[in-house]
Chain A
Amino acid sequence: MRGYRYLPDVVTLEFDPDLCVGCGRCFDVCPHQVFVIKENKAWMVDRDACMECGACARNCPVKAITVDAGVGCATGLIGEWLNEIKPRRKGCS
């Protein structure tokens, strides 16, 4: 995606080339062209562009890709953290 780039070296995307059968689905579905297909194999060429949408992992027929998918929403994450803290507080009292 031209002109936009987020933090490097943070995403949970993992790819195991040994499992890949080269079907090309990951290339088809990725909105950020993280994968390319060369010599009947997928290559992860731009890992930092990944937005963790989970499309590649869901569509890979051999589970060669894993990613902790979710929406990058600050309000949502703060809400989750607050929910995690609440029961802990109760447990302490």
Chain B
Amino acid sequence: MSYIVPPGLYAVGQPTPDSPVIVTANYKMTYDLVRQALVRCDAWLLVLETYGINVWCAAGKGTFGTQEIVRRVVSSRLVELVNHRSLVLPILGAPGVAAHQVKSQCGFLIRYAANRAADLPEYLGNGMQTTPVMRALSFSLAERLVLIPVELVLELKAVTLIALAVLLGFSLAGSFADGLQAFSAYAGAFGCGIALTPVLLPWLSGRRFALKGALLGLLWTCCCYFLSGGGWPLLVTLAAVLVLPAVSAYHALNFTGCTPYTSRSGVRKELRNSLPVMAGAVGTGLLLLLISLFV
């Protein structure tokens, strides 16, 4: 299956020279969403070459950008096809596009319409007015859920290696049952950070992702303790309290790359503050475990 739609000009319905021109990316899913939204409309669809990447990411990279728009407007001979001189763009494409430069280079006025393709019919129907609802960005549970598998796949290799090392280490130091227990504890902490934090994001207190993750990690550590019937040696308990929340915090912090509201400067600040703490916690925890082998 291909995720790429050939770039160029497409007709939706029966467009006339007066029909609007909608600009979108050539990521198949984006293209399909726009087409679906426009089923009852007549419009031109100008598909840019974004190499199969969605509008928001392509705008960040600059492929959904000023130069590509100008190039497509010229190569599709849009000037000969339509009477008007305006292009309708998704608001999320704006980071890559300088509207005034598009205007000066090819004569077309950019109109930033809405964030979601589903709002296009209303926008076209109401005389091209962006309502506050079309402008509002959302980050619903469903929108957060679809991001989790992507993150999981990215981290899977490293995490599997660590999990196996944990299983092996604890099995050798104690019994295979100890190994399994430690393995589940680690896997659970990873799950807290990578899946549970995104799911519960708006309801976890605090603004820092690492803190949200650490909080869940701590709860998970308590769960592990009581589920296993307790009675861990003191040093092992201390190590668990240090390491498991740090693991969860680290993966929670990684989710900042997926959210539509975390600034780069904010993430940089949070990383600076929390990375040393996480590394310190993991280091101390491992040291305690090592000591526990000899006491």
Is B83 in the interface zone, CB < 8 Å from A?
Answer: no
Quick one: closest B residue to A26, CB to CB?
Answer: B94
A71 touches B207 (CB 8 A): no
Q: How far is the CB of A83 from chain B (nearest CB, A)?
A: 15
Q: How far is the CB of A30 from chain B (nearest CB, A)?
A: 8
Is A64 in the interface zone, CB < 8 Å from B?
Answer: no
Q: How far is the CB of A5 from chain B (nearest CB, A)?
A: 6
A1 touches B136 (CB 8 A): yes
A58 touches B115 (CB 8 A): no
User: How long is the Cα–Cα vector from A58 to B94 in the complex, in angstroms?
Assistant: 8
B100 touches A55 (CB 8 A): no
Contacts of B271 in A (CB 8 A): 74, 77-78
Q: How far is the CB of A47 from chain B (nearest CB, A)?
A: 10
Contacts of B135 in A (CB 8 A): 31, 33
Contacts of A85 in B (CB 8 A): none
Is B131 in the interface zone, CB < 8 Å from A?
Answer: no
Quick one: closest B residue to A28, CB to CB?
Answer: B112
Is A37 in the interface zone, CB < 8 Å from B?
Answer: no
Is A68 in the interface zone, CB < 8 Å from B?
Answer: yes
Given the interface contacts A25-B99, A31-B92, A58-B97, does A52 sit within 8 Å of B256 by beta carbon?
no
CB proximity to A under 8 Å, residues B223-263 = 253-254, 256-257, 259-263
Contacts of B267 in A (CB 8 A): 72-74, 77
Contacts of A29 in B (CB 8 A): 91, 94-95, 112
Is A65 in the interface zone, CB < 8 Å from B?
Answer: no
Partner of A72 from the list B94, B100, B154, B262 (CB cut-off 8 Å) is B262
Residues of A whose CB lies within 8 Å of any CB of B are 1-7, 10-12, 25, 28-29, 31-33, 49-55, 58-59, 61, 68-78
9 more CB-based (< 8 A) A-B contacts, given A31-B91, A52-B263, A53-B95? A6-B262, A7-B208, A10-B269, A29-B112, A59-B94, A59-B98, A69-B264, A74-B253, A77-B264
